[in-house]
């Protein structure tokens, strides 16, 4: 077993808790069928975030706490201010970038086990972004998985999702509706390249908006199969690209937009930028340009039209509807709790299929815009 500095001295006494978010013992769906129904929930919702009383730690807390286990580096899951952090080693660079270089951060390799209080915890690949992890918590024979954000489709920039059997599975539901079904991301990358080529021939720049952490690097990684042409990036994307390169992820060459020569033409260039850059003065330098947005939300055509993009590419770092259902089945969980996104709808569908399921309210945003 690995050690987490300071853990032993901190003790394992849990703070007082409000009632669990789903009625104390999560007696939901087929009441009485859960094998550990007589126990308090292993993970509860508190004002600070998800809390594990027998381990005396929080998971992706939304307020500062003493000990925080982190699933991945997106801002709605990795917030600063806590005393100690524990995460998967593959995400160490990104978390230091997010939380600060002096943050007290301990890491574990995927699958490595650690005793925390009365529990045993481990991190397992979630396939969401570099270093993303599901957190497995075991206590007195009961196993919970807190999945964070995850996907099952191939991604050259992160370790593939690992199925972990459990008794209770906390799943995201960002795209928890049947309309959300993803195409092969390799085909999407080919479509992006054709769009870029078409704009080059027309004498335009191509500005592709995408989330700065995860999506941008995934696009750069997918394009590396198809071309070695350099891509220009916004400053918000650049530092995170460096973290991926340091981790050995292959991507096409990149250059900061701000480092291009003064007066240089952007005609024919592909530019990756966060959605927040759209409509800002930063865009003026590109002259004649076409815009696109890469996101799972582009599955609904009206979203592209309402936001004024010329193109929409359906590319998500979250599980689609079939992947959500497949994952629930694969875990063999006796109980499923759905959080963020369409959690009510997913939980209702699972109950209609005879499963013990319910929504779990959290501030997690899923596919957000920063």
pTM of the model: 0.90
Report the CATH number at residue 172: 3.60.15.10
Question: Do 173 and 189 share a domain, yes or no?
Answer: no
Please check whether residues 162 and 189 belong to one and the same domain. no
245 in any annotated domain: yes
For the chain, how many structural domains are there in total?
2
pLDDT in tens, 189-214: 999 999 999 999 999 999 999 999 99
C-alpha span between 298 and 215 (Å, rounded):
14
CA terminus-to-terminus distance, the chain: 37
* In-domain check, residue 33: no
Residue at 30 is within a domain: no
Instruction: Kindly state whether residue 265 falls inside one of the protein's structural domains.
Output: yes
169 and 147 Cβ atoms separated by less than 8 Å: yes
Full domain range(s) for residue 98? 44-179+318-359
Let me know if residue 269 belongs to a domain: yes
**Are residues 289 and 175 part of one domain?**
no
Instruction: Kindly report the CATH number assigned to the domain that includes residue 246.
Output: 3.40.50
Tokens read off for 84: 């100690």
Specify whether 241 is located in the same domain as 129: no
Considering the domain architecture, whether residues 108 and 138 belong to the same structural domain is answered as yes
- Quick one: 137 and 63 in the same domain? yes
- Domain-located, residue 142: yes
pLDDT band per the 50, 70, 90 thresholds, residue 29:
very low
In a domain? residue 145: yes
Residues 131 and 195 grouped into a single domain: no
Task: Tell me the average pLDDT across 91-105.
Answer: 95
**Residue 5 falls within a domain, yes or no?**
no
Task: Say whether both 146 and 59 belong to one domain.
Answer: yes
Do 99 and 134 reside in the same domain of the chain?
Answer: yes
Task: Verify that 347 and 306 share a domain, yes or no.
Answer: no
Shared-domain flag, residues 55 and 138: yes
Using 50, 70 and 90 to split pLDDT, how confident is the model at 368?
Answer: low
pLDDT, tens digit, for every residue of 164-185? 999 999 999 999 999 999 999 9
On average, the pLDDT of the chain sits at 90
Q: Which two tokens stand for residue 59?
A: 């998971």
Give bridge partners of residue 338 from the DSSP assignment. Answer: 171, 359
Q: Which of 313, 335, 350 is the last residue in one of the domains?
A: 313
Regarding whether 351 and 290 lie in a shared domain, the answer is no
Q: Give the pLDDT band (50/70/90) at residue 97.
A: very high
């Amino acid at each position: 077993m690995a050690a987490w500095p300071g853990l032993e001295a901190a003790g394992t006494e849990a703070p007082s808790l409000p009632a669990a978010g789903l009625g104390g013992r999560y007696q939901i769906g087929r009441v009485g069928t859960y094998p550990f129904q007589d126990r308090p929930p292993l993970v509860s919702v508190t004002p600070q975030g998800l809390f594990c009383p027998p381990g005396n730690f929080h998971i992706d807390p939304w307020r500062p706490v003493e000990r925080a286990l982190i699933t991945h580096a997106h801002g709605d899951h990795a917030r600063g201010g806590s005393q100690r952090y524990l995460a998967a080693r593959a995400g160490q660079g990104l978390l230091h970038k997010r939380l600060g270089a002096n943050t007290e951060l301990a890491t574990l390799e995927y699958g490595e086990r650690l005793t925390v209080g009365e529990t045993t915890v481990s991190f397992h690949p979630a396939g969401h972004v570099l270093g993303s992890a599901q957190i497995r918590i075991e206590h007195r024979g009961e196993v919970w998985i807190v999945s964070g954000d995850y996907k099952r489709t191939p991604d050259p920039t992160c370790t593939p999702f690992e199925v972990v059997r459990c008794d209770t599975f906390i799943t995201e539901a960002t795209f928890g509706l049947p309309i959300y079904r993803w195409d092969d991301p390799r085909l999407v990358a080919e479509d992006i390249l054709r769009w870029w080529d078409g704009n080059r021939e027309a004498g335009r720049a191509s500005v592709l908006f995408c989330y700065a952490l995860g999506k941008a690097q995934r696009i750069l990684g997918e394009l590396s199969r198809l071309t070695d042409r350099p891509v220009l990036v916004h400053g918000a994307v650049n530092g995170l690209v460096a973290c991926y390169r340091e981790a050995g992820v292959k991507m096409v060459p990149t250059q900061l937009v701000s480092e291009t020569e003064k007066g240089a033409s952007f005609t024919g260039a592909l530019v990756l930028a966060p959605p927040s850059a759209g409509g800002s003065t930063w865009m003026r330098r590109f002259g004649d340009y076409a815009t696109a947005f890469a996101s799972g939300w582009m599955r609904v055509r009206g979203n592209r039209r309402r936001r004024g993009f010329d193109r929409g590419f359906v590319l998500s770092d979250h599980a689609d509807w079939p992947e959500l259902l497949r994952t629930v089945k694969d875990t063999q969980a006796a109980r499923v709790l759905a959080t963020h996104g369409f959690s009510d709808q997913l939980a209702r569908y699972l109950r209609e299929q005879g499963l013990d399921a319910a929504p779990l309210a959290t501030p997690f945003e899923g596919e957000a815009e920063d």
